[in-house]
Amino acid sequence: MYEKIRIFLCENFGFLDLKLSFRIELRSRKLQKSTMTFDIAAIGAGLAGLTSAAQLQQAGYNVVVVEKSRGLGGRVATRRIPNHRADFGARYLEANGRLVSLLLEILRDRQIVQLWTEASHRWDGNLIPDPPRPHYVPPNGMNEIGKFLGRGTRVWFSRRACQLTPQADNTWHLSLEAVADGSDAPLELTAKAVILAVPAPQALEILADTPGLPEEFRNNLAEVEYNPCITAIAKYPNDRPLPDWVSVNFPPETDLSWVGLDSSKRPNTQQPVFVVHSSADFARSHLNTTNLEAPGRELLDRASNYLLPWLSEPEFLQVHRWRYAFTSQPWRRDCLAATTPLPLVCCGDWCGTRQIETALRSGLAAASITNSQLQQEVLSPIRQVWQSL
C-alpha cells in the first residue's frame, strides 16, 4: 500500500516526493519489523481458512489470515490471461453437500454465482452424456468465491508461514517469509491460537521445528496423501467452431481427467478458451519437470485426439502444476487438533473426501475447537456469518 502511495505522489506531486517517501518507507519498515499480536492466526486463505476466520472474527476474536499467494480462495483459483480469465483450479460448484448448498444459495442471492450448465459428458470411447446436474460458477471467475468469503477479514498476502514456536508468555510466535514484493505486511506475529488451513504436507513443513508436538500428531499429518494435477489453459483463434459440449470427464488411462470450455462460463466472450486437467499419474510423472510447456502440449494433443483436432494448436498456452490437488489418503475426522498447551488445529480438504464441502466443514470444525480452547464465545451459525458478509 505504501509503495502505491509513493508512486502516486511521485507521479502527481514530484516535488513532495523525497521527504514523504522517506517517511512512508520508514513507516513501512517499522510495520514490517513490529510484532503484532492476535487472538487467532489462520494460515491459508483457501475456503477452509477463510471460513474459520470469518466465524471466529464474527464472534469477536481479533483474527489475521496469512496467505503466501496474492489472492483469496486457494485452489478455487482464477488466472488472468490476455482478454480473458480462466478457472484453473476448482471447476464449478454443485449442490452436493449441506455447506456447499448453503453457500450456493447465498452466492446466487447475491448474484455472484449463476448456473453454468446442466449437461456434462464423460469419455468412454465416445462422448456419453451424464444425467443432467446443475453446475454453478461465478461468471467473473471461481476466485469470486474466495473474495466473498474473505470480505471483512484481515489478510496478509504474499507471506509464507515458515515456523511456529511456542513462547514463554503462552502465545505462539509465527515467522513469515516475504514471497513477493509489494506487500508491507509484517514478517512475524504472535497469536494465542493458530489454525493451519493448508494441505497436510505443507502443515508438516511449518511444524518441522516446533518443539513440544506429540510424535503421533506429526504421524497423523504425514499419513495424509494428495494426488497432483497438471492444468493447461489454452486459448484459440475466434474463428474456431465451438463444440456442443462444455464439460467432459475422462478415465485415468487417457492421461486426462477433465476438459472444460472455460470461455462458455463468461459473458460476451469471443475466443474459445479451454482448461485441461491431467490424470494424477500423468502429473506424477512430471513432478520434477521444470519447463511445463511440453507436458501442457501433450495434454492438448490427447484432448485433440479425443475431442477436436484443432485443440493441439493453441494461440496461447499456460501450464500450472498443482502438487497437492486432490486428497487421495484423507484424515478421517473433521480436523486435527494438537494436544499442545497452546491451541493449534490443522484443517482443510484433506479431512475427508468431498473436496470443497470437506474444506468448509473442516474450517468450521477448526473454528469450533479453537473457540473451545479460548474464550468460549457463542459462535453464530455459518448461515448468519455468510449472510452478514
Ligand X SMILES: Cc1cc2nc3c(=O)[nH]c(=O)nc-3n(C[C@H](O)[C@H](O)[C@H](O)COP(=O)(O)OP(=O)(O)OC[C@H]3O[C@@H](n4cnc5c(N)ncnc54)[C@H](O)[C@@H]3O)c2cc1C
In whole angstroms, what is the distance from residue 380 CA to residue 357 CA? Answer: 19
- Residues between 206 and 245 that touch ligand X (CB under 6 A): 206, 229, 231
Rounded to 5 degrees, φ, ψ at 229 are -155, 140
Q: Output the smallest distance, CB 115 to ligand X, in A.
A: 15
Tally Cβ neighbours within 10 Å of residue 159. Answer: 26
- Which residue, 74 or 314, is less far from ligand X as judged by CB? 74
- Least separation in angstroms between residue 329's CB and ligand X is 14
Q: Does 66 bind ligand X (CB under 6 A)?
A: yes
Q: How far is the CB of 175 from ligand X (least distance, A)?
A: 11
The DSSP bridge pattern shows strands 247-249 and 316-329 to be: unpaired
For ligand X, the binding residue among 40, 104, 197, 248 (CB under 6 A) is 197
Query: SS3 for 332?
Result: coil
CA distance 173 to 83: 43
- Rule CB under 6 A: choose which of 40, 107, 161, 299 binds ligand X: 161
Does 280 help bind ligand X (rule: CB under 6 A)? no
64 binds ligand X (CB under 6 A): no
Q: Phi/psi zone of residue 72: left (φ > 0), alpha (ψ -120 to 50 degrees), beta?
A: beta
Contact region with ligand X (CB under 6 A), list: 43-51, 217-225, 232-240, 338-346: 43-51
Please select the residue that binds ligand X; options are 138, 199, 272, 314, rule is CB under 6 A. 199
Residue with cell 476466485: 143
Does position 160 bind ligand X by CB under 6 A?
yes
Q: How far apart are CA 66 and CA 78, in angstroms?
A: 19
- Cα–Cα distance for residue pair 33/227, rounded to 1 Å: 38
User: What are the grid coordinates assigned to 83, written together?
Assistant: 482478454
Residues of this chain, 341-360, that bind ligand X according to CB under 6 A: 348-349, 355-356, 359
Site membership for ligand X, residue 198 (CB under 6 A): yes
- Please give the full DSSP string across 140-152, using - where no structure is assigned: T-THHHHHHHTTT
Q: Which of residues 86-125 bind ligand X (CB under 6 A)?
A: 89-92
Positions in the binding site for ligand X (CB under 6 A):
43-49, 66-69, 74-76, 89-92, 160-161, 197-199, 202, 206, 229, 231, 277, 322, 325, 348-349, 355-356, 359
